[in-house]
Chains A and B, each alone.
Chain A
Amino acid sequence: MAYSFPEEVLEHVFSFLSSDRDRNAVSLVCKSWYDIERWCRRRVFVGNCYAVSPEIVIRRFPELRAVEMKGKPHFADFNLVPEGWGACAYPWIAAMAEAYPFLEEIRLKRMVVTDESLELISKSYKNFKVLVLTSCEGFTTDGLASIAANCRHLRELDLRESEVEDLSGHWLSHFPDSCTSLVSLNMSCLGSEVSFSALERLVARSPNLRTLRLNRAVPLERLANLIRRAPQLVELACKQLKALSGFWDVVPSYLPAMYSVCSGITSLNLSYAAIPSSDLVKLISQCQNLQRLWVLDYIEDSGLEALAASCKDLQELRVFPSDPFGAEPNVSLTEQGLVSVSEGCPKLESVLYFCRQMSNAALIAIAKNRPNFIRFRLCIIDPQAPDYLTLEPLDAGFGAIVENCKELRRLSMTGLLTDRVFKYIGSHAKKLEMLSIAFAGDSDLGLHHVLSGCDSLRKLEIRDCPFGDKALLANAAKLETMRSLWMSSCSVSFGACKLLAQKMPRLNVEVIDERGPPDSRPEDCSVERVYVYRTVASRRRLDMPDFVWTLDEDSSLRYS
C-alpha cells in the first residue's frame, strides 16, 4: 500500500492505546494492523479463565507484561459453587513462566493458587512487580515467603480477601533489606502475628508505601508509630480499631499525626472492625477526602447522616451486616441511612448496602437523588421482603433506579419482586453489564425481558427464581454476546441444557449437579446448577470434577 506507515510508527501510535476495546478494534482493521498490534500488546484481561486457553493467548500476544484473570463465577463467594469445581491457576502460571520471562504483573481473582505456583512466579520473572490475589485460595504463608524472598522489585503484594493457610508470620521477614520498592501491602487476611519490628523496618524503608492493610494481630499501641513512619499513606485499614476509641483519650500527642494522616486518606476499610457508631463518626469526620468507605452496619443511620455531612467526595460506600443471621435487628440501620448518603454525597456512584427493610418510596428518592449511580447493590436480609410500608413488591423502587440511573452498569436486587421489575430492567437498563437476581420473578417472562432487553449485559447470575427453559432457549444467541450466565435452583431442565449446547457450539454449558449423572434422571428434571459461558478453548476442560457435565463436540454427554 502506497500510504501505509512503517511498522514502527504504527506501533508507536498503538502504544497510546490502553483500553482493550480500542486495541481489539485496531486489530480488526487489517491483517498487518492485527500483527503489529499483537506484538505490542502488553496487558491482557481474561474475564473467564476457561474462555480461552493459555496457548491461544501466548500465541497471539507474545510480549505481555501484565495478565489479569478471573476464575470462579461470582456466586462461588456464597458457597453456591461446590468445592473442587476448578479455576486452578497453575496451568496458566506454568505456561506463562516459559513464554513471558519479562512478565511484571499478575492479578488473579477467585482462582485456586498453590504454593507451587507462587514459587514458580517468584523464580520465573526477573522484573516481577505486582501480585494481586483477590478471593483466591489454595496457598500458604510459605508461598508468600518465596515471593517476599525472590521478587526483588516487588511493588505490590495484595492478598485481599484470600484464604491463606497461615503457617507462620515469619514470611514477612523474608523481604530482603534491599527491598525498598513496596507501594502497597495488603495482608489483612492473615491471622498470625507477624514480627512487628520486621513490619516497622519494611515500612521505614519503603518511601513509596501508599497503601497498608494490616491484619488483626498488629498491636494497636504500635500503630501510631507505624503511621508516623508512613506519612504518605493514603489507604489504611486495620481490624482492631476498637482501641482507637481509647486511643483518642490516651495518646493525645499522637492526635495531630492521626489527623494529618486522616485528611489524606481516600479509602477506609473498617468492614471487619466492631466499632460503635460514635467512634466511627469521630474517625470519619476527620477524613474529609474520603472517597471509599467500607464499614459494618454498626455505623447506623445516624453515622451515615454524619458521613453524608462530612465526606462530600465519597464515591463508594459498602455497608456490611454485623449480624447477618440474627432474626432481630441488632443495630439501628434502615433504608434511611442510604437515603441520607444519596442526598448528601453528590459523587456517590457505587453502593453495596445490607439492611433489613426497604420501601419503594426510599428507592425512588435514592434514584432521584443520585442519577449518577454506576453500581447499585442492595441486599435485604429477608430476600423476599416487600415494601415494609405498603407491603407491595419493590418493583416500582428498582424500576426507578434503572430508569433514573442511565449509566448503571451493575445491579443486585432483593426483596419481593415480580416479573414487572424485569420488564423495567429490560426497557431501561441499556448500559447494565452485570445483574444479580435471587428469589425474584414469577415466570420465564422475567428472564426473557432481561435477556432480550439488556443490550450491554455481560454477566447474569440467578438463584432460586422460577426461570426455565423457554426463556433460555429463546435467547440462546444472546448468551454468546455475554461472558457468562449462572443459574442455580431454578427450573432449567437437563433436556434444555443439551439443546442449548447443541444449538450453540461456542458456548460451554456446564451442568453442575451433585446428585449423580443427569442422564440418570428424566430429561425434564431441573438441574441443580447450570453455568453457561462462551469459549474459544475446547469445550471440555481437562480439570472437570465428577459433578460437572458438559456436552462434547459430538453432542455426547461427557464427564470425567
Chain B
Amino acid sequence: MEKCSSAAVFEKDDLNLRLGLPGRDESEQPSSSCVKTNKRSSSEMENQVQQSAPTPPKAQVVGWPPVRSYRKNALHAESGMLVKVSMDGAPYLRKIDLKFYNNYLDLLKALEAMFKCTIGVYSEREGYNGSEYAPTYEDKDGDWMLVGDVPWEMFITSCKRFRIMKASEAKGLAGSCSPSLPQFLLTKNIQLSPTNLSVGLTRLTSLVRI
C-alpha cells in the first residue's frame, strides 16, 4: 500500500507552469477529455482535440458552457428570429432577435444604441437620405432591401440578415430594387443631382415594384 507523505511530495515541486490541454501529460495515458458524451465519440475527433491548440473546440465540448439543458431548451423555444447585424466599419457582427421589437422605430432605436450611430428616419421617397447610415437587409430571395419599405410583419418574416450601410452606398436601394441598380447608376457616369436622383428613383421604383 502506497504511503504518500503529502508534504514531502509537494513542497519540493516548483510550480510547473505548463500551458497545455488539460489531461495531457506525456507520462500518462491520454485521458479522453473534451469529447465525452453518453454516446461513444469518434476516436478521430478525440485525437484532433488532444493535438490541437490549448483551447478546446468550443461547440463540441459536452456540458459547456454549463447551462442546464432545461434552460437551453427553453431558450431555443423562445428565440426564432435571430439575425446577424453587420455595420460598415464595425469590426464585429452582432445578433439581434427580431421578436423583441414591435415596430421599425423600436428596432432602429435599438440598432442606433447598439452601434452608436445615427440612422434617422425613413421616408418612402428619400429612404434614409440625410442620415449617416442606412439600414438594409437581405430578404428571403437574396435581395438587399432598404429597411422600412414593407409592412413590419412582412419584414420580420422575410429578413435574413442585416447590414447597416453608409448612406451613400445605400442610395440605390429605396423600394424593392436589387443591389445591381446603384452600381449601374454610379458606374455609368450619369450626372446625378439630388433632385434628379430622387425623382429618378421614384420612377424606377414604380417600374420595378411588383
Q: Which residues of A contact B (CB under 8 A)?
A: 75, 77-80, 82-83, 135, 161, 163, 189, 239, 242, 245-246, 271-276, 278, 320-330, 332, 354, 379, 381-384, 416, 418-420, 423, 438-445, 448, 452, 463-466, 468, 470, 473-475, 488-491, 493, 499, 502-503, 514, 522, 524-526, 528
Contacts and interface: CB of A to CB of B under 8 A. Distances in A.
Contact of B38 (A83, A239, A442, A493): A83
A443 B126 CA distance: 65
Interface in B50-67: 54-56, 58-59, 61-67
Interface residues of B, number: 63
Contacts of A499: 1-2
B28 A473 contact: no
A387 B54 CA distance: 15
A470 B1 CA distance: 14
A209 to B, nearest CB: 24
Interface class of chain B by DSSP? loop
Contacts of A354: 65, 67
Nearest to B74: A272
A388 to B, nearest CB: 14
A468 B36 contact: no
A488 B36 contact: yes
B22 A445 contact: no
Contacts of B54: 384
Nearest to B39: A514
Interface of B: 1-2, 4-6, 9-10, 13, 15-20, 22-25, 28-34, 36-38, 40, 54-56, 58-59, 61-72, 74-75, 78-79, 82, 92-97, 99-102, 110, 114
B15 A419 contact: yes
Contacts of A526: 23, 28-32
- Most B-side CB within 10 Å, residue of A271, A419, A463, A528: A463
A455 to B, nearest CB: 15
A320 B71 contact: yes
A322 B99 contact: no
A84 B207 CA distance: 66
Nearest to A476: B4
A146 to B, nearest CB: 23
Nearest to A278: B110
Nearest to B80: A274
A406 B15 CA distance: 25
A445 B65 contact: no
Contacts of A493: 28-29
B30 to A, nearest CB: 8
Contacts, number: 189
Nearest to B38: A82
A321 B17 contact: no
Given A330-B96, A379-B66, A445 B10 contact: yes
A386 to B, nearest CB: 10
B16 A445 contact: yes
- Most B-side CB within 10 Å, residue of A77, A245, A326, A464: A464
Nearest to A327: B58
Interface class of chain A by DSSP? loop
Contacts of B70: 135, 161, 163, 189
B201 to A, nearest CB: 34
Contacts of B20: 442, 466
Contact of A491 (B1, B25, B79, B99): B25
Given A439-B22, A442-B17, A466-B24, A324 B29 contact: no
Nearest to B8: A474
Contacts of B23: 464-466, 489-491, 526
A147 to B, nearest CB: 21
A274 B78 contact: yes
Contacts of A135: 68, 70
A274 B22 contact: no
Given A78-B64, A474-B5, A489-B34, 20 more contacts: A77-B66, A78-B67, A82-B38, A135-B68, A271-B71, A276-B101, A321-B65, A323-B79, A324-B72, A328-B93, A329-B92, A354-B67, A383-B64, A441-B22, A448-B6, A464-B56, A473-B4, A493-B28, A526-B29, A528-B36
Contacts of A163: 70
Contact of A418 (B17, B28, B75, B97): B17
B38 A379 contact: no
Contacts of B6: 448, 452, 474-475
B55 A384 contact: yes
Given A78-B68, A466-B24, A474-B6, A329 B94 contact: yes
A502 B1 CA distance: 9
A474 B36 contact: no
Nearest to B5: A474
9 contacts: A78-B62, A321-B65, A326-B95, A330-B95, A383-B64, A441-B22, A442-B15, A448-B9, A493-B28
